[in-house]
Amino acid sequence: GAVVSQHPSRVICKSGTSVKIECRSLDFQATTMFWYRQFPKKSLMLMATSNEGSKATYEQGVEKDKFLINHASLTLSTLTVTSAHPEDSSFYICSARDSGNSAFFGQGTRLTVV
């Protein structure tokens, strides 16, 4: 099956700094990628839909100025958590849709803000 790679898998940053998370489709082109957030013992919550070459569509309640999404190429979408705070600590997962309309998930990124 198709492979989606997220980097980094874990990151610890200081409060107030920004962190960039990359989501790459390794063997297919993805015009659409999705970013999810998972809280401990909670389900995944869709944050935004990332479309190549256009602005991301954010779900209600997600701050677009805080969670910047860039989908500059057909194989890469990035999520930047700006001015991170401890409450932003979470597990972030991306998924990418291939030309066959199947979605594949990355392995996730554990963000800890101290």
Interacting positions 75-104 with another protein (CB under 8 A): 91, 93, 95, 97, 101-104
What is each CA distance from 97 to 15, 78, 81, in whole angstroms?
33, 15, 23
What contacts 24+ positions apart, CB below 8 Å, involve 68-71?
69/35, 71/33
Nearer to another protein, 15 or 102 (CB): 102
Listed residue (67, 75, 3) closest to 36, CA to CA: 67
To another protein, the closest distance from the beta carbon of 67 in angstroms equals 16
To another protein, the closest distance from the beta carbon of 114 in angstroms equals 19
Binding track over 36-55 against another protein, x by CB under 8 A: -----xxxxxx--x------
Angle at 99 between CA 103 and CA 53, to 5 degrees: 90
Binding track over 7-36 against another protein, x by CB under 8 A: -------------------------x-x--
Q: Three-class SS of residue 47?
A: strand
- In the complex, the residues that contact another protein under the rule CB under 8 A are 4, 6, 32, 34, 41-46, 49, 91, 93, 95, 97, 101-108, 110
